[in-house]
Structure 1
Amino acid sequence: MGLRIAVLHETVAGETRVAATPETVKKLIALGATLAVEQGAGIAAGIADGDYEQAGAMLADRAAVLAGADIVLVVQAPDPATLGGLAPGAWVVGAFDPFRRTETVAAYAAAGLEALAMDWMPRITRAQSMDILSSQSNLAGYKAVLEAASAYGRAFPMMMTAAGTIPAARVFVMGVGVAGLQAIATARRLGAQVSATDVRSATREQIQSLGAKPIFVEGVAGIEGEGTGGYAGETSEDYRRAQAELVAGHIARQDIVITTALIPGRPAPRLVTDAQVATMRPGSVIIDLAVEAGGNVEGAVPGEVVQRHGVTIVGHRNMAGRLAADASALFARNLHNFLAAFWDKDAGRPVLDAEIGDAIRLTRGGQVVNPRLSQ
């Protein structure tokens, strides 16, 4: 029997995605693996059990799926206590959020499992097709605009009618990574008047290329280039003060604000204060895509939509998961691309190299081995 790969039904509350689709099941079987999928794993993403069976997977309950599994594919890493029957040395591949879930990572080490954090995939050219953060952020940025349009009580595009003209909505995107760029593009397609800001100077041209107006601090140095791993880092106190003043005046004139800023290993930076929220006109909308990491917006509540000063602040968790079918398709392809890239025909399994293996491996041989966690 070849390498056995298990695909689990997600146990995290509200998680609608699944780590494999019938498409990737077929591809993994073609590599030489056998696939076992937990019953109901894909229902929330619009995938019936029968679709997996037609693709060649075995359907079973959790215990049977885990029995003898060499690799377990998940979207969000579950508590290892729910992985009963999984033999020591087995891989668990998915998103771990290691900095905020250190106790879970330690539990994986204690269970003798090898935890591979796909959310720590290096931002290098050859790993782009394996990058779950990029694929999911792209969808999150798109969905954020749709959520804003739904919550906003006015139209997005300018409309000229016999009864008069409706002005275009003004959308301000804060943080121009993958999610921010997609939010800009989507808001522009819907006809909004879009502006955006970032601490990284290199993003100015990206903003302009999408037809949006860049809002940048002048005369005070921010971050040159792209920052570590494509993320922004910390800026100087002078820059933060100048940016706060610039943004405060700009936010007051906006109808919709979408924030996307994250710093790996640290709480999300505070971009919008309660006082700034109060300057927006009633009926305005703020979408905080960083709410699960502490939030960019003062007053944002994870998993809730709240009203402050007449402004709607949307704090949906797992924005990409609100597009479960497409998010699952992209996530599953990321996992397949990862396993296929390292597949060793002689070994009949993937064999990781140091560059990527050392970056994403959290635990091995009963120990936490990733240097980012030990630091």
Structure 2
Amino acid sequence: MDNCSTQFDPQISCMFVDMLDNGMVVIDEDNPAAQGYRDNAAIESVADKFISEVMKTMSSQEKADSVDYLTGLYMRSRGQQVIAALMQDNDGCLAFIDMDNLKKVNDVHGHKAGDRALKLIGNLLAKETENETFAACRLGGDEFLIFMPYSDRASVESVIKRIFEGFESAREADCEIKEAALSAGLCMTTKGAMFESDYTKADKALYYVKQNCKGSYFFYEQLLADNKENTNLSADLRNVAKFLKESGSYTGALDLNYREFARIYEFVNNVGDRHKHNCYLVMVTMNTLPEQLADIEEIEKALDCMEQSIRSKIRKVDVCTRYSSMQYLIILFEPQENQIPNVMERIFMHYYELCDREGFKPQYEYIKMTEVK
């Protein structure tokens, strides 16, 4: 036991020796160490092998517990930890990938067909992450996340196109999953970037794809570039207002709740133009504090609390919807503009009553709907 606490874990070593003394472990008589197993060197030799096997088993179990059995990728919690760690040491790109029409595949051809589609994207992502500086995970359902350690968009696009083309090729060979497709939102990241912030940006880019061009990909930086001339309001809010104003021209299917919101927005906007009503579009964003690393479950719980707060504090003539993984949109019908801060303060106060999570700091901004061009 000379190397106890240095070479060997003291707790495991003592446990092993006790097991030897009590006859709970039997040493193979053919093992040279068995001739004098009470000798320190002999015991330590056998204990070393025993501990190695124990640690190997524990490592295998830990890995099994953190891997999605269907796709072979990391599950959400472990995956985001790995990705967040890689982002601390590398420039790169975070891609939020969503499988379109999975529900339709499941409904028409059964869940076995849907599972094949999920395994397909899992295999394609796993192939890209053979390099240890890549990482991917299944967020749940039909959503995936991949980190690519490339600082230039050309290299990122090469990977994404390879994934899309591989999926499309395999999809065409399987008639039961032909309806499935991929959409992706991408965000370029810099070394040391906060995971939650860039995750939200990638999610916003994905929402843009879902609203405008399903089956393709889009960079968050493109959203900023398209709106850089709008300096009085954030690019996000101006961009959202523009999308909503043009909602009647959408050709792709939108999320039902969001689509109904878009219709109401268009209706209210037309009424406002005709009767000179002043209605406002408000965006609520759930920011995470720089020192906090919230997991997805904590984010969802905080968002649920915010949704309850919004719905309980706005009037029956007002409307709200979930916009992205960290945001809500609200239409306030004819409020006095100077009362908007009071409305939002009531919402946020109620949120803090419902939610004791100090890692989130909600903020809001608003725009008069008739000013959106």
TM-score range, shorter-chain basis?
under 0.3
Q: Which has the larger radius of gyration?
A: 2
Q: TM-score, normalised by structure 2?
A: 0.22
Structure ranking higher on relative contact order (CA contacts 8 Å, 6+ apart) = 1
Could you state the TM-score of these two structures normalised by the residue count of structure 1? 0.22
